[in-house]
Amino acid sequence: MTPADIRSVFEIQHQASRAQVEVPLVVRRERLLRMRKLIDEHGPVLAAAVQADFGMRSPRLTEVADFFVLRALLGHTLRHLARWMKPRAVRTPLYLQPARAWIQRQPVGVVGVISPWNYPVQLALAPAITALAAGNRVMLKPSELTPHTSAQLAALVAQFFAPEEFCVVQGDAAVAGLVASLPFDHLVFTGSTAVGRKVAQAAAVNLTPTTLELGGKSPCIIDADCNLEDAALKIAHGKLLNAGQTCIAPDYVLLPRGREAAFAEAYRAAALRLFPQIEGNPDYASIITTRHLARLRTMLQQAQTQGAEVQVIEPVAKAPRPDHQAGLGDGVSRQMAPVLVFGATSGMQIMQEEIFGPVLPVIAYERLDDAVAHINANPRPLALYWFGNSEATRDDVLRRTVSGGVTVNDTLMHIAHDNLPFGGVGDSGWGAYHGEQGFLRFTHQKSVLAQSRWAMGSLFYPPYGARFDQVMALLRRWL
């Protein structure tokens, strides 16, 4: 699509949103059911496209990380949509009675979605599903780093939806910049903090409200009394899912000093339990591009040069790739083994940037206060994880830190809870969606007051005099 084509499609959606301001429940449900049919009937094709883009990422990984999340979102939304749409009556204060008041929930209009490459189906369609549920039109710009998936999404969306309902535009970063500059009624961006700043600046020109789902360095605090083996397994799962290419993956571990060796052994055992083989294992995703892999290797090399201890977790055995894996692509060379880094310092790149790979720095602390101070000295993270048995300590950490979300004694799981809003804070983003919070994010809550024929508003009209003073004195006693 040329820039003129993209602007033309946006104008079609804009005009359609103004021609049909109120979108009935039956229309919204029918759009969501079409989305469900798209996923159910064409999931294998989309999973194959994801595999082709990564080079090594099994359809089963895409099933649990993309499709399962989308199916859960669709089911939850369809069950609750009628209730979410209803106007909300609100109490009227005494001085405005007997007027009535309510909040009317309406679509904002046209929602733009710029989605990333790491979960290219889930993070493209989840905000689109929620925006459609709220009665909006949607324009999606998926990542250029997953071209096969983006092309399949474009073809399938065109098959199931009219352009004025939902469309996909493809292209590089210049196209993403063009999309960000369109006068949407709301714009959702998922990606890095650096690019998120550019998107926010482009949207600000049109006063377009934004939801920015960014990243950051999500810490994992291990308390002194926790079971290291259990914690290590859950941390390894959260860190190594999709080879660490997850926005809420544990970015580094804060560990009581003296337990480094025990944690290293527990983490190694956990990683090998999950992935006894790395090379040729379709469950262990490739790093998305050679450029991203080179960045990770440069981080490790710099950390090692500056004195950090780098421990590569070698697989149990380099088993030959079975014949049935022969068609899984060329991503074997980009499958990076898990790595632990001890002794990393704040001056190293590995502690300054979101890692987005299977590399886990481990930082020792003397007192819990030191761990909290370390977190608070840095930009607020998208997620925080705490492992321990003391509820008092847990609550103390929750009170003294700010993060987008938290999972206690596990990793990642808060994102799967449909009644918990998901979003960042500060450098990790703003705005939240999922469940009703997402519905409201893409909804205009219009305030309505219906005046009564018995209204006494004239008591407040000028000219002001003794009667006005009496009324105000009486109201002051009630307020």
Cis peptide before 338 (omega within 30 of 0): no
- Report the alpha-carbon distance of residue 75 to residue 33 in Å, rounded: 10
Distance CA 309, CA 247 (A): 25
Q: What is the pairing mode between strands 219-222 and 252-256?
A: parallel
From 165, 226, 247, 260, the catalytic residue: 247
Q: Is residue 247 annotated as a catalytic residue, yes or no?
A: yes
- Nearest residue to 334 via CA among 57, 48, 47, 50: 57
Q: State the catalytic residue, choosing from 164, 165, 167, 213.
A: 213
Name the one residue in this structure whose structure tokens are 């089963």.
60
Three-class SS string for the chain? CCHHHHHHHHHHHHHHHHHCCCCCHHHHHHHHHHHHHHHHHHHHHHHHHHHHHHCCCCHHHHHHHHHHHHHHHHHHHHHHHHHHHCCEEECCCHHHCCCEEEEEEEECCEEEEECCCCCCCHHHHHHHHHHHHCCCEEEEECCCCCHHHHHHHHHHHHHHCCCCCEEECCCCHHHHHHHHHCCCCEEEEECCHHHHHHHHHHHHCCCCCEEEECCCCCEEEECCCCCHHHHHHHHHHHHHHHHHCCCCCCCEEEEECCCHHHHHHHHHHHHHHHCCCCCCCCCCCCCCCHHHHHHHHHHHHHHHHCCCEEEECCCCCCCCCCHHHCCCCCHHHHCCCCEEEECCCCCCHHHCCCCCCCEEEEEEECCHHHHHHHHHCCCCCCEEEEECCCHHHHHHHHHHCCCCEEEECCCCHHHHCCCCCEECCHHHEECEECHHHHHHHCEEEEEEEECCCCCCHHHHCCCCCHHHHHHHHHHHHHC
Contact 219, 384 (CB under 8 A): yes
User: How many of the other CB atoms lie within 10 Å of CB of 291?
Assistant: 9
**For this structure, is 167 an active site residue?**
no
Cα dihedral 25/28/32/38 (nearest 10): 140
Letter for the amino acid at 39? Answer: I
Q: Any idea which residues carry the catalytic annotation?
A: 213, 247
